[in-house]
Amino acid sequence: MRRRYVQQEPKNGGEPCPPLEEKAGCLEYLTYEGQDCGHDHVPAFITTFEYSKERKRQAASPLWSSDTEESSSYCVEFKTESLSHHCTLENRPYARWMQYIREGYTVCVACQPPAMQTGNHRCSGDGLNADGNKVLHWQAVGNPQCQGTWKKVRQVEECSCPGVHSFIFT
């Protein structure tokens, strides 16, 4: 929550001051009509799809059964528009996957529990309601300087990209 204080009221037909108190929670942005708009302001945080395989092996979240996970997961295809040069410079063993992100390539990003929000079973940054012309932002987990933009191509039930171009929302 943040509060403002008016030091001087507007004069000569000036615009009124904005609301004196604003509230926003962690990734919980609402329009004045009460609709969620957080996905428009939050980048998609991604990591390698290999993490998904390891997470399933370890059964990291006992709250989700494999039946729930399989039926509620989905995949989004994006066309990469831009990326920072920090992605191609990454050479740490656990972060080499960032080198495979390239401008103009189609990538697949899976949305699975526990990255899904419990209320709507969506992942933040998945481009919900975005058409193919809207530029969306992404950021690599493990290197905040590896970031860029992409446009949503489509949402599908299963990812069909090559392994090096497959990622997962976190």
Quote the domain boundaries for residue 49.
41-169
Residue 162 in any domain: the answer is yes
pLDDT score, position 71: 56
pLDDT under 70: residue ranges of the chain: 1, 22-32, 34-41, 53-71
DSSP annotation of 14: P
The domain tally of the chain equals: 1
What's the pLDDT tens digit per position in 60-100? 455 544 444 445 789 999 999 999 999 999 888 888 899 98
Instruction: Report the alpha-carbon distance of residue 161 to residue 21 in Å, rounded.
Output: 46
**Cα angle: 100, vertex 87, 134; to 5 degrees:** 85
pLDDT score, position 37: 60
Q: Amino acid identity, residue 35?
A: Q
Residue 25 in any domain: the answer is no
Residue 67 in any domain: the answer is yes
Residue 19 in any domain: the answer is no
